[in-house]
Structure 1
Amino acid sequence: MGLGGTWDGVPYTAADIAHAETAVEAALDIGITVFDHADIYRRGKAEAVFGELLDRAAGLRERIVVQTKCGIRQADGHHPGMYDLRGTHILRSVEESLTRLRTDVIDVLLLHRPDPLADPQDIAKALTSLHGQGLVRRFGVSNMSAAQIAHLQGHLDIPLVANQLEMSLGSRDWVEAGVLVNTPAAAGNGFPHGTVEYCHAREIQLQAWGALAQGRCTGDGDSPTARHVAALAARKGTTPETILLWWLQHHPARIAPVIGTSRPDRIRACRDAVGREPGLTHEEWYDLWVTARGGPLP
């Protein structure tokens, strides 16, 4: 999301391309090969800048997985901001993303947000067409509950392979929902209970957006949680960013963090979380959780 310059209509610059290049190089250097996009990021400029890099770097496309999303339409002079999972919009969005990314296939396409007006048969028809044409290899969703996934999958022969949700040590509703059952505090938790278990049981990859908690739990924040994370990182001989990712990766659902940042230094700080088992004990995982929630478990 951080690539492509500003969120307005100003075209991206050579400096924006150079920034994207340093971010991608940092990711590749530590073994990251999956790049997550969305058609709305920087109003399409994030995809377009990335497409510039793919066009310039021979062989890069074959080395990586390109994932993007569609289904959110930003407000303009003709309509309000809205969700749009109509088949025609999905098809048009993919065509535009392919053009911006300068590639002939999207490895994974996620439906970005639930659309209350969506017709699952219409969605299934569009996804089946994209798959049959070889334009998209796999499909998933983002910000959807177990019930919403099941409803869509019931009309789609192609398996949904991913669900991207906000999950981090700073945003813990996804894990709190599982322990607040049968407590008064459950009413204040908005996460759809059972979604993590549903995805885990069906091997739908849980992808955690906001995995680094926007810096609130690392060096950019001064809180009991940030201090605890920093102290644990020092004892482990790693970085605070790695501790946050390990906390997610330690969960049995094998959560895949989307680190989000485009800062090369923060990308490289995630190196110990790439390609190795998380280095936390059961007790350390719980200690981080209790510290972050600011009180004992129920």
Structure 2
Amino acid sequence: MRTIKLGVSTLEVPVIAVGCMRIGSLDKPQAERFVQAALEEGANFFDHADIYGKGKCEEVFAEAIRMSPSVRDNIILQSKCGIRPGMFDFSKEHILNSVDGILKRLQTDYLDVLLLHRPDTLVEPEEVAEAFDLLERSGKVRHFGVSNQNPMQIQLLKKSVKQPIVANQLQLSVTNANMISQGFNVNMENHSAVNRDGSVLDFCRLHDITIQPWSPFQYGFFEGVFLDNDKFPELNKKINEIAAKYEVSNTTIAIAWLLRHPANMQPVTGTMNIERLKDCCKAADIRLTREEWYDIFRSAGNILP
């Protein structure tokens, strides 16, 4: 599979990340088949979080892939921490304890990437910096990033954190594309002009932070998928038309739409369906034309002034 550099790091990663939020719903044979299918596609970047299944997902994954030193050398593991019941927690103690739990469940000595999950308004950047330094020096974490953070929140962390922020995991799909649409509608008096994220798309491009779109098929906040959905007739008509041209599925085109953006994004899949995962991976080999990208964007109801 085609690869990109993750942020400013030297880490080469596939352009498709395999999200493991739902792997806990699979039995052992199903999980083994799913992981093996991902590896056969060259999708060896696996995204986790300590809250997925309350840790069960990391355990199921480790058993499914039959973790060992030789296996570990051929995969890239990313996990996230910072969410606790009823709160967010970027304290030094919580970050360090979380990573120890993640490593134990994944049966590994290190993470390739650790992301801070949801922003903690009580964050003390000095504590985060101390935690990151300890994790880096001990070899437990090699690269660091964030999730769901705007530019000023990242800048606040960087006040003390010396490690590069290599990734920012953000909700993004053609139907949840405000970070793109507000850039078209600067100074316009319409809904699409509202800047809800501090121009995070441009910020990440300026600072070479890889955007990892999560829920690339969802509309709203986990309200459902837009593909084959009667609520989006024009969007599905256009996606299906382009899919027929490339002789691929609509799933492939939805991911290819994200990959066409020059920000060098790394979409995070969420499916546990092997055939759909394969369709996602096919997007790595497709480059939509400028006209096709804009046609899909507008057909989703996004406004161009």
TM beyond 0.5: yes
Alpha-carbon distance in 2 for matches of 1:221, 1:187: 23
Tell me if 1:226 matches 2:246: no
1:253 maps to 2:263: yes
Deviation at 1:61, TM superposition (A): 1.6
Asked whether the 8 Å contact 2:238–2:295 carries over to 1, the reply is no
Aligned mate of 2:33, from 14, 19, 22: 22
Letter matched to residue 230 of structure 1: N
Divergent runs of 4+, >4 A: none
What are the Cα deviations for residues 252-271 of structure 1, in whole angstroms up to 9, with x where unaligned? 11111111111112101123
1:138 aligned residue (143, 151, 154) = 143
Are residues 187 and 250 of structure 1, via their aligned partners in 2, closer, same or farther at CA, if it must alter by over 3 Å?
closer
Identify the residue that residue 181 of structure 2 maps to in structure 1.
176
Give 1:186 shift.
Answer: 4.9
Aligned to 1:49: 60
State the SS of the aligned residue for 1:269. helix
Structure 2: runs of 5 or more not aligned: 1-20
Please say which of residues 234-243 and 53-62 is displaced more in the overlay: 53-62
User: 1:62-73 maps to which residues of 2 (within 5 A)?
Assistant: 62-73=73-84
> Hey, what does 2:225 align to over in structure 1?
216
Deviations 1:212-243 (A, max 9, x none): 33762324666321232122101111121111
Q: Does the C-alpha gap of structure 1 residues 187 and 233 become closer, same or farther in structure 2, counting only changes over 3 Å?
A: closer
Letter in 2 for 1:59: S
SS at match of 1:248: helix
Q: Does 1:279 align with 2:290?
A: no
The separation in 2 between residues aligned to 1:58 and 1:136, in whole angstroms, is 16
TM-score, normalised with respect to structure 2: 0.86
Provide the residue aligned with 1:159 in structure 2: 164
Distance in 1 of aligned mates of 2:281 and 2:121: 39
CA distance in 2, matches of 1:252, 1:242: 18
What's the offset of the Cα at 1:19?
2.2
- Match runs of 1:282-293 below 5 Å: 282-293=290-301
Whole-angstrom distance in 2 between the partners of 1:43 and 1:263: 22
Q: Distance in 2 between matches of 1:252 and 1:279?
A: 11
**Partner Cα separation in structure 2 for residue 56 and residue 162 of structure 1:** 25
Alpha-carbon distance change, 175 to 230 in structure 1, aligned in 2, over 3 angstroms: same
Q: Where does residue 5 of structure 2 map in the other structure?
A: none
Q: Contact (CA 8 Å) 1:4, 1:49: kept in 2 or not?
A: yes
Q: CA deviation at 1:26?
A: 2.0
Aligned length: 280
- Determine the C-alpha separation between the residues in 1 that align with 2:269 and 2:194: 24
Match of 1:202 in 2: 207
SS of residue matched to 2:212: strand
Task: Give the CA deviation at 1:57.
Answer: 6.5
SS of residue matched to 2:170: strand
Counterpart in 1 of 2:304? 297
Structure 1 residue runs of 5 or longer lacking an equivalent are 6-14, 75-80
More displaced stretch, 111-120 vs 182-191 = 182-191
Return the alpha-carbon distance in structure 2 between the equivalents of residues 128 and 58 of structure 1.
Answer: 25
Select the residue among 89, 106, 117 that pairs with 2:122.
117
Query: Hey, what does 2:13 align to over in structure 1?
Result: none
Task: Please give the TM-score of this superposition, normalised by the length of structure 1.
Answer: 0.88
- More contact order relative to length (CA 8 Å, sep ≥ 6): 2
